[in-house]
Amino acid sequence: MVIIKDDDVVELAHGAGGKVMDSLIKNFVLESFVKRSISKSIPFLGEGVGLEALEDGGSFQVGDFEIVVSIDGHTVKPVFFPGGDLGRLAVSGTVNDVAVMGAEPLVLACSVIVEEGYPLKDLKRILDSANATTEEADIVILTGDTKVMPRRELDEIVFTTAGIGIVESGKIVRNSGLKAGDTIIISGTIGDHGVALLAAREGLEFTTSLVSDVAPLSGLIREIRNLGQITAMKDPTRGGVSSALNDLAQSSKASIWIREESLPFKKEVKAAAEMLGIDPLEVTCEGKIIIGCKAEKAEEILDTLKKNKYGKDAAIIGTVKPPISGKPLVVMETSVGGKRVVEKPIGEPIPRVC
């Protein structure tokens, strides 16, 4: 039971994917939302992954299948950013959340809330981009909703997408699946989305190659999923790789050891992050996944990733070990031979990053 004082308010960090958001969800949202079983008397309907699991989505069983559901509200600013836009982000973000659970994304439900006076041509550009991204991801927009808020009651537009996917019963990939000895792979360079977005917002334009990595990864994930032996997957969005690795370690009750030298960064991202004073490890990626797999399968998965345009910079970045003194820490072996704990950030440093 959390005591809420009268003057407690929502802070930006409550939505920023780090420790503060964790406490909001664990002490507050989960307390409000009582976990109940699906009590319907429908044949073939069974249990799945619930809210309390704190995965990228939830699931329920229908016959021999599990239906996976994920939802994300997208508030990115600016709406059009280098390498993408709100429409591409809203589709990719949710497709990726469904796919990292090991499911095949099938359909999307889209809710757009837009400010009165927003240019119709920009709305059309966003919808067209969302549509092109669904084509790329081979999914269908099944249903939608449009609301308009009066001028100045919303800053431009937000786009919420719910994704529904399907997977054979028992084949869901969960954050808790890592075992000591597993290998940790990342599918490409780190921090591209957040750094590109912030650089655009700050007017930093020293290079045109600084673009978001936003992309739907369902195709890439299907290729590696078919190889088998994947023990966990997560897309490092808010709070970046630091947050995602900590989530995986905590859920799996294991420690994760990564090697700084092996982490793939675009040099422009490293340079811009330094200039902007942010740690690229704590910054949102929108087209990357972290994969845990059995060690003997790692090279095959890496090769498969590298053949895909969204995985060409993939790298093996670490190993899973038992917890350290009972703690599920993330430890980085630094380039100079030291070790440091990679803490879960307080929150994503960039507001409205996704």
Residues 156-175 that bind a copy of itself (CB under 8 A): 158, 160, 162, 164, 166
Q: How many residues bind a copy of itself (CB under 8 A)?
A: 97
Partners of 320 in beta bridges = 256
Point out which span in 21-29, 256-264, 282-290, 304-312 binds a copy of itself (CB under 8 A).
21-29
Strand pairing of 58-62 and 65-74? antiparallel
Check residue 202 for interaction with a copy of itself (CB under 8 A). no
Check residue 10 for interaction with a copy of itself (CB under 8 A). yes
Shortest Å distance, C-beta 49 to a copy of itself: 8
Check residue 127 for interaction with a copy of itself (CB under 8 A). yes
Check residue 319 for interaction with a copy of itself (CB under 8 A). no
> Which long-range contacts (C-beta less than 8 Å, at least 24 apart) are formed by 309-314?
310/187, 310/188, 310/215, 310/217, 310/219, 310/220, 311/187, 311/188, 311/220, 312/188, 313/187, 313/188, 313/189, 313/264, 314/185, 314/186, 314/187, 314/188, 314/264
Check residue 130 for interaction with a copy of itself (CB under 8 A). yes
- Binding residue for a copy of itself (CB under 8 A) from 23, 46, 116, 299? 116
Check residue 57 for interaction with a copy of itself (CB under 8 A). yes
Collapse the DSSP code of 346 into the 3-class scheme (helix H, G, I; strand E, B; otherwise coil) and give the result.
coil
**Rounded to whole angstroms, what are the CA distances from 197 to 78, 82, 88, 214, 252?**
8, 7, 14, 11, 32
Residue list 245-284, contact with a copy of itself (CB under 8 A): none
- Residue among 254, 344, 251, 265 nearest 17 (CA): 344
Shortest Å distance, C-beta 326 to a copy of itself: 30
- Binding residue for a copy of itself (CB under 8 A) from 1, 42, 170, 203? 42
CB 180 within 8 A of CB 229: no
Residue list 324-343, contact with a copy of itself (CB under 8 A): none
- Binding residue for a copy of itself (CB under 8 A) from 19, 25, 204, 207? 25
- Binding residue for a copy of itself (CB under 8 A) from 46, 78, 117, 228? 117
